[in-house]
Amino acid sequence: MNFKFWTGLIIGLGMGVVASAPHIRATKVDEENNKIVHSLPQIIEAVDLDQQFSFAGEVLPNNFDNIERLDREMLVNAYWQSSTLLNIKAANRFFPVIEKILAEQNVPDDFKYLAVAESNLRNVTSSAKAKGFWQFRKLAAKEFKLEVNDEVDERFHVEKATRAACKYLKQLHKRFGNWTNAAAAYNVGPTNFKRILKNQGQTSFYDLNLNPETSRYVFRLIAIKQIMSNPSHFGFYLDESKKYAPLDNYYEVVVDKSIPSWSQFAKEHGISYRILKVYNPWLRDTKLTVINNTYKVKIPRNS
């Protein structure tokens, strides 16, 4: 047999994508029969931490504790290939929407990675009943003027929820003095964060001894930022055609009267009930009751 031994990242037959953990694997190939005979285990390497890191323009203090905490998050996310690859795909769809609103609201662009940390850019519901990309609980959502009821839940409306998150983050920034503290307070809650700062006599997140989740939170944001902004440096190779396309080819229908059946509404507009909900996940029921209000419903073109 004609065998060839070579070392490098392997693009799987028919896959077109390599999303292995960082770096190199060695493979023996039977060229005559066009198949892989043997592939050695991937080489697992440490992440390069010999550089300056920052979040929202604020530099990570360079001491052994911070570097080791960041190291953990870099390794967890770099080698959690399925989740990170899905996030890279979803970012192509949702980051342009989020980035535009962050810029309009004068919130640092790095906060788009907070949505990744909170929800993996999915309209999920937590065990604490927080919902949407930005994981608002019902009380907080209503405080920031998001409608939440059995028929409409604007925590699932990416544009409106992002604007609400911006307002909240700017409040936290004003209260706690910088964006790093704002991010930590977003996770643990402003009342708890203020109490912890006072009890420990500190002014910076990096100097606090916190619960495990919040202690890791900002480092996780930095790690997600590093990996998603430089995916090939971490072994993620993804052709543009494999990323999820933006849902930006639509028109809006103004709804100012009750809709007895969203299924019938969808049929009248030439789409399925499923696609209606994909474009408008904030519609939470099969119908809509309208009283002194209007809504804009997205309808995809050429569906």
* pLDDT tens for each residue of 250-284: 999 999 999 999 999 999 999 999 999 999 999 99
pLDDT of 135-166, one tens digit each? 999 999 999 999 999 999 999 999 999 999 99
CATH topology of domain 54-242: Lysozyme (1.10.530)
- Residue pLDDT, tens place only, 188-218: 999 999 999 999 999 999 999 999 999 999 9
User: For the chain, what are the domain ranges?
Assistant: 3-39, 54-242, 250-300
| CB environment 116-136: b (16+ within 10 A), e (fewer) | bbbbebebeeeeeebbbbbbb
Pairing label, strands 250-255, 58-59: unpaired
Structure tokens at 218: 């900002």
What rounded mean pLDDT belongs to the chain? 89
Tell me 3's DSSP state.
E
Can you say how many angstroms the Cα of residue 277 is from the centroid of all Cα atoms in its chain?
20
The pLDDT confidence band at residue 23, using thresholds 50, 70 and 90, is very low
Q: Which amino acid is at 74?
A: M
pLDDT for 43-76, tens place per residue? 678 888 999 999 999 999 999 999 999 999 999 9
Give the DSSP per-residue string, 232-255: GGGT-B--GGGSPPP---EEEEEE
Residue 227, sorted as left (phi over 0), alpha (psi -120 to 50) or beta, turns out to be alpha
Place of tokens 């919040």: 214
